[in-house]
Structure 1
Amino acid sequence: MTSTLTALLYLGLFLSQTVSTEKQNLSKPIIWAKPDFMIPKGKQSPKQHGRRNIAMFHIPAMTPLTAGQYKCIYRSKKLWSNPSDPLDLVVTELYDTPTLSVHPGPEVTSGENVSFYCRLGTATNKFFLLKEGRSPHPQHRYGNTQVEFPIGPVTTAHRGTYRCFGSYNNHAWSFPSEPVKLQVTEDFGDTSLAPTEHTSFSDYWDLDLVTTEAEFQQDLASWDHTAQNLLRIILAFLVLVALMCLLAEDWLWRKRAQEKANGASSQECRRRFRTQRRLNE
């Protein structure tokens, strides 16, 4: 009995020392839209083959009802992640087409001040200016029929193609204006460097996905470690229960042995008393 209790006690101590209580943190997910965050009215989002750690939520056709701000979260085991950064999904081609112009002209020298002017024949209350290949956070100005977007002093980083939109709210826009390409030539001493080729939003996101999937793999490995810890906790609990049962059984066995010993002692005392009484008689 003693050797069994010792072995179980050692096992329980070993398991308790291997259990860790590290807090698990899930990485924040990323949400994006394809083909872009701006979808013309009635157009469909393309269906794609599923990838690991990526969930597809298909919108059959864009309308003002499906436009709006979106966030996503995910769950691993019983733990929920924090929500992603918000994504503003915009439906376009709802209003007339604005016109976009640039002053002093589409070809300027670095260091000059440049202004884009967006004009819409029908009155609106907000205008957006977008540069192709940039993150989906366009500049905006409030106005009635025309607004100015001042930019400058410009550098070669401002090279690119621009469009503007009119809107009555943040998620329902007009047709896009005709593109205006801004050319910025370097001045003497201007050493600023910037990419001039167009890069789509999906290219930026695909680069981020490599890091994001690596983070998900780390989360999965972390959860494997958590599962192992949980198994150790369960085993330690079972060992503790077994130890308590054995201790209780040992206590009961000792109690019964003591009771038997006390009973035998009482019988012996009574036997001796009767024998002594007979002798006296």
Structure 2
Amino acid sequence: MTPSLSVLLCLGLCLCKRTRTQAADRFPKPSLRAENGSLVPQGGAVTLRCRGSGEAEEWQLEKRGGSGWSLIKFVRGAGHEVEFSLPSLTSYDARTYRCCYKHSSFRWSECSEPLELVVTGLYARPSLAALPSSEVASGQDVTLQCWSELWYDWCVLYKEGEEISRSRTQSHERGHQADFPIPAVNVTHNGTYRCYGFYSSYPYKWSSPSAPLVLRVSGTFSSSPESENRPSGLSCLQVGILVGVSAFLILTFLFLSLLCLRCCWHQPRLGKGDRETEIKTARSSEPPVTTLEETMYAAVNDDRQTEDARQEDTTTLQREDPQEVTYAQLNHKSLKCGAEPPPQSGPVEPSVYAALW
């Protein structure tokens, strides 16, 4: 093979790969959904919607059977989405479906993901019960039990039209049952539950739904019997009030503490020298206090000095001029106090005599 031929061959392969990639980009994969859900009761109608590219001109709906996929619906029209109506469903319509569309260049897009269409009401309904009760406290464990006298292989649990779980059944004396445990329930588990039964050989043909079971979850679960007699906890309003009062008391205490600290900080403080000066000033300003002993001592001392002076005068007069002298007895207490004291029964004090001319 010549070099030029090799180059042309590689160029052709690259162009072919690029063309396929662009074609895949131009034809996005469509999507298929059931308008009112894929769970349809027997005899009911359903509308399937297929959405794809705006350049589509033809649409088709396929159903998978025992021999593979087969065309059941064909629609012409441009747009992003088309509808396929299936009225009055039967057990034969309980299948898997898919859709695809054709581009204006006469090329078909890739098909959508399969959609499982389930038909219910083909068998007798099972029973659904809650253990220990359908009204429980939050945090308690609950088991939803789906059982039937028929020998169903599987049971499916639904809540408010949405599948929650599915489980294989186990045999018991009454038939077959499946348990769906819900540990530590809370308020999000409140709602209406139903269950269905089916055989594994017919996975899209289900029984009629069980009677609705309403699960109510409220309060707080207590594991000990003694706690059931205890009063319930504080409500949110009471807790809020307690928190508010506590915060107010704390703020009040802090405010008073800061106020006391401020007063103590601004109070003038005296140093050691100032204190001594203040004490001396206070002492000097006080009037002198004379005790009783000091007063008596001063009075007696004055009397003795007066008596000595008088004796000296008398002696001098006698020495200078010996004349007749008249003596008078003086009472020092009378002279001192200025009033005649009451008579005393005690010993007589020594008398002092003075010369009179």
TM-score by length of 2: 0.41
Query: Hey, what does 1:183 align to over in structure 2?
Result: 216
Match of 2:88 among 57, 61, 67: 61
**Residue pairs, 1:150-189, within 5 angstroms:** 150-168=181-199, 169-185=202-218, 187=220
Paired amino acid for 1:38:
L
Q: Which structure would you say has the larger RCO, counting Cα contacts within 8 Å and 6 or more residues apart?
A: 1
Match of 2:124 among 68, 93, 96: 96
CA distance in 1, matches of 2:48, 2:166: 31
Larger strand share, 1 or 2? 2
Q: Is the 8 A contact 1:73 1:82 kept in 2?
A: yes
CA deviation vs aligned residue, 1:142-172 (integer Å, no higher than 9, x gap):
1242111112333333222110011113200
Q: Is the 8 A contact 1:34 1:46 kept in 2?
A: yes
CA distance in 2, matches of 1:158, 1:26: 43
Query: Hey, what does 2:137 align to over in structure 1?
Result: 109
**Pair 80,152 (structure 1): closer, same or farther in 2 beyond 3 Å:** farther
**Pair 153,64 (structure 1): closer, same or farther in 2 beyond 3 Å:** same
Local SS of the residue matching 2:144? strand
Query: Hey, what does 1:121 align to over in structure 2?
Result: 149
RMSD: 3.2
Query: Hey, what does 1:142 align to over in structure 2?
Result: 168
CA deviation vs aligned residue, 1:37-65 (integer Å, no higher than 9, x gap):
122222233699x9952222222321221
Query: Hey, what does 1:38 align to over in structure 2?
Result: 39
CA distance in 2, matches of 1:43, 1:132: 19
CA distance in 2, matches of 1:108, 1:52: 52
Local SS of the residue matching 1:139? strand
CA distance in 1, matches of 2:115, 2:123: 22
**Pair 65,177 (structure 1): closer, same or farther in 2 beyond 3 Å:** same
Match of 1:73 among 70, 83, 100: 100
Q: Is the 8 A contact 1:156 1:186 kept in 2?
A: no
Deviation, 1:95, is 0.9
**Pair 74,34 (structure 1): closer, same or farther in 2 beyond 3 Å:** same
Deviation, 1:140, is 1.4
Paired amino acid for 2:183:
G
Deviation, 1:138, is 4.7
TM-score by length of 1: 0.50
Paired amino acid for 1:153:
A
CA distance in 2, matches of 1:51, 1:130: 38
Q: Is the 8 A contact 2:34 2:48 kept in 1?
A: no
- The alignment covers a number of residue pairs equal to 166
CA distance in 2, matches of 1:158, 1:51: 45
CA distance in 1, matches of 2:187, 2:78: 37
CA deviation vs aligned residue, 1:75-98 (integer Å, no higher than 9, x gap):
444565444333211111111111
CA distance in 2, matches of 1:150, 1:83: 39
Query: Hey, what does 2:62 align to over in structure 1?
Result: none
CA distance in 2, matches of 1:63, 1:25: 38
CA distance in 2, matches of 1:165, 1:56: 29
Deviation, 1:72, is 2.4
**Pair 152,91 (structure 1): closer, same or farther in 2 beyond 3 Å:** same
Q: Identity rate of aligned residues, in percent?
A: 35
Paired amino acid for 2:207:
S
Local SS of the residue matching 2:96? strand
**Pair 152,56 (structure 1): closer, same or farther in 2 beyond 3 Å:** same
**Pair 133,66 (structure 1): closer, same or farther in 2 beyond 3 Å:** closer
**Pair 175,81 (structure 1): closer, same or farther in 2 beyond 3 Å:** same
CA distance in 1, matches of 2:46, 2:27: 29
CA distance in 1, matches of 2:177, 2:85: 36
